[in-house]
Every structure is written in C-alpha cells, then in structure tokens.
Structure 1
Amino acid sequence: MRTGRPRQFDRDEAVRQAMHLFWENGYDATSLSQLKAAIGRGITAPSFYAAFGSKEKLYKETVACYLHSHGRVTDALWDDTLPPRQAIETTLLRSARMQCETGHPKGCMVALGVMSANSEEHRHLLAPLDTARARTREGFIRCVKRGVENGELHAGASPDTLGLVFNSFLFGISTLARDGVPLSIIETSVRQIMALWETFSVKNGNELPNG
C-alpha cells in the first residue's frame, strides 16, 4: 500500500513561517499560494491540506503560537510580585521591544488582528485575539486598582480611565513600529506616559487632578 511521500518540512517551523505571514498581512490578505510558497521552501496543495487541514485551521494554530510566545510580553500585568507601576512599565517596554525587534513582522499580532478578517464568514477566527485584547485591558485596569488599594494612588483615581490610557498607548505602539519609529523614541515615550502615574501619586504629595 502506498503511504505517500514523507513530509519534507518541519511542522513547527512551518507554523512559525505561516504565523509571520498572517502577522504581516492579516488573515484575509494572506493567500493559500503565499502560505504554500513560504512553508518548507514551497509545498504542494495536497501536502498543505494533509499537514494543516485548511487555511482556517492553520490560522488558529498560528494565533495560539503567537499568544504562547510573543504575546506573553503582557504577563507582567498579572504578576502580583511586581509593584503595579512597575508591572505597567515593564509591559509597555517589553512589548515595544518585541514589536520593534528583527526576525519577525513589526507590530503586535493581537492589536493588528482587529482588521485581520473583515468578512462575517471569518470573523469568528479573531475570537482568541479579541479575548487577548480584553484580558490586556483588564490587566491594566487591575494594576491601577492595585495602586489605589495599596495607597500608592489617590483613592479618587479612576482605574477604568487611567487603565485605558495605558492600554491605548500599548496598542498604538503597533502603528509606530510599522511606521519605522525607532525603538529608542518609543521607549522614551513609555517613560513619559508613566509620568501620568506620578500625577495621581500620593507619595509625591500631588493633589488629585480635576476632571
């Protein structure tokens, strides 16, 4: 009985190569031809379907791969051994460095995923990215709440409002990275946005800002 030719590529590496394509172009704009050409220096359609089942299934694998690797730059938001201010700054700096480093597309696949699949037919594929964005947003808000609860920030500081400021800055880094803004400038901007924390700080003797 013929069993077919053995697979001529490393499957884990193939998922990584596909992840880079989806990260760069999004789901809708990445064609099957591009995927076949990128994997293992080129594979046939039968080999592609035998290995991955479909473009949709491969995309789901690449999203999981991203979230368990590059996407972990936000883990500090949930690390209670870190002071809340440090957790936020660490997250912003780690994410900026990841988004600007070489070896993969610029930006964040989670942030860029908002526009990855525009058709209703494929919108369900973005659910893990939607969940990741919501969790990151929750993480920033949680850090501000910790700051209020431990007396580091004024009791009147709004966790929702201040948390969303940091969250918005994080996801804006993707555009900056794609536009080629140098990492050094983004890192300086991170330190500037962290000055907002000091505005609400009890330690510095600041009054709670109006509005």
Structure 2
Amino acid sequence: MAQMGRPRTFDRSVAITQAMHLFWEHGYDATSLSQLKANIGGGITAPSFYAAFGSKQALFNEVMERYLNTHGRVTDSLFETTLPPRESIELTLRRSAKMQCEPDHPTGCLVALGLLSACTDESKAISQPLADARSLNRAGMVACVERAIASGELPPTVVPEALATVFDSFLLGISVLARDGVPLKQIDDAVTQIMTVWDASCIGRPAIGSGSLKGTA
C-alpha cells in the first residue's frame, strides 16, 4: 500500500496568498517547487504539497484566480458603462498604479510580470490565462474609446484600437516603473500627463471629468 503524506495542517487560503507573492515576485519559471514548499504554511513536505495543490501549474492557476478576484480588480472600471469613458480609463490607471506600489505585496502586476516569456513547455501551458487577462483589459479600453466616439466626445476619425493601445502600453509599463522603485506620486503625475492624449483628441471642448480624478483610490 502506498505511503500517504501527513495530513495537511496549514491554512489553505493563506498558502495561496503566500504562493501568489512568490510567483508575483519571481515569475512562474523562476519560482521553484523547493521555494514553494519552504514558504507555504511555514514549510510543507512534497506529499503535502501535491495532496493540497496537485502540481505547480495547478497551484499557479489557483493563484491567478485569487489575483484576478482581488488585486486585479483595479481594472474593473474599464467595464463600468455608467462611468464616462475617459473616467473609466483614468480610474484604472490610477488605481493600478496605487495597487502596484503598495508595500504589503510585491511591486508591479502579476499579470504583466508573472510570465513575460514562456521558457518551458509547462510555462507555455499556463501563459494563456495571463495573455487572456491582458487582452481583456485592452478590449475594455477599446470599448471605452468606442463609447466616447458614439457619444460624440471623440471624433469618428479616432481609431479605437490605436488610442486604446496608448493607454494599455502605459498600464503595462507601470509594472516596470513600480518594480524599479519609481514613487507612486511620479507615476500618478504621469497618468495626468498621459490623459492629455485623450483630451487632445476631443472635439473642441474639455473632456468629461478632465483632471478630476488625480489622487483618487
């Protein structure tokens, strides 16, 4: 009869958070099973790890679900159609910058930094959820621009995908800035600057809510 691992005695929810911080800090490929076992629940055995999570890949999938339902919700405003389109994008950028610079977890964004290159067959298999999350954010920004065109705030000559890419590029770039220790105030000031790209595209009137969100959440 196969020997069973000792019963799991750690808090599984806490363990998911601990694993999330490891993947967030080091990336998927660089986070080893040894690191995971040593840092989850104060240290667990291999049998306990596999009994609890099945595999490193399965654990990462749980981590991504946790991240997207917590820290990753800073992009929710992209999909709040009751908000003016410009405000939806500005809120996302400011909230994301704030989250990525917070001191109680690794800096940057797990979706942006967790797997920048798929080096192994295993990492290739788990790269799609990260790409899907980034694609969803881009689609949200495109939808915001399309709403602004439909309402007359932006002219029909604006290409939604092009303007959305400006803001999406900035959003992804925040991760590198935060990881490099650039202060939140500097990044927040940069959000004010990048939003002038939207304002410059407006039809002969100030953008709705222009400059009103600086320093929010």
TM-score of Structure 1 vs Structure 2, range by shorter chain: over 0.9
SS for the counterpart of 2:114 is helix
Q: Please say if residues 28 and 115 of structure 2, whose CA atoms lie closer than 8 Å, have aligned partners that are also in contact.
A: no
Aligned partner letter, 1:173: I
SS for the counterpart of 1:40 is coil
**Aligned runs of 1:128-167 on 2, under 5 Å?**
128-167=129-168
**Residue 9 of structure 2 is aligned to residue 43 of structure 1:** no
Q: Please say if residues 23 and 109 of structure 1, whose CA atoms lie closer than 8 Å, have aligned partners that are also in contact.
A: yes
* TM-score normalised according to structure 1 size: 0.92
TM-superposed deviation, 1:203: 4.3
Aligned length: 205
Aligned to 2:211: none
Aligned partner letter, 1:171: L
**Aligned runs of 1:1-211 on 2, under 5 Å?**
5-115=6-116, 117-204=118-205
Separation of aligned partners in 1, 2:30 and 2:202: 46
Separation of aligned partners in 1, 2:80 and 2:167: 17
Aligned partner letter, 1:16: T
* TM-score normalised according to structure 2 size: 0.90
Aligned partner letter, 1:8: T
SS for the counterpart of 1:122 is helix
Percent identical across equivalent pairs? 58
Q: Per-residue CA shift, 1:145-179, capped at 9, x if unaligned?
A: 11111001112111111110000000000000000
Separation of aligned partners in 2, 1:125 and 1:34: 19
In structure 2, the CA distance between the partners of 1:91 and 1:122, relative to structure 1 (3 Å rule), is same
Q: Please say if residues 26 and 116 of structure 1, whose CA atoms lie closer than 8 Å, have aligned partners that are also in contact.
A: no
Separation of aligned partners in 1, 2:188 and 2:138: 20
Aligned partner letter, 1:75: D
Separation of aligned partners in 2, 1:188 and 1:182: 10
Q: Which runs of 5+ in 1 are unaligned?
A: 207-211
- Whose relative contact order is higher, 1 or 2, with alpha carbons under 8 Å and at least 6 apart? 2
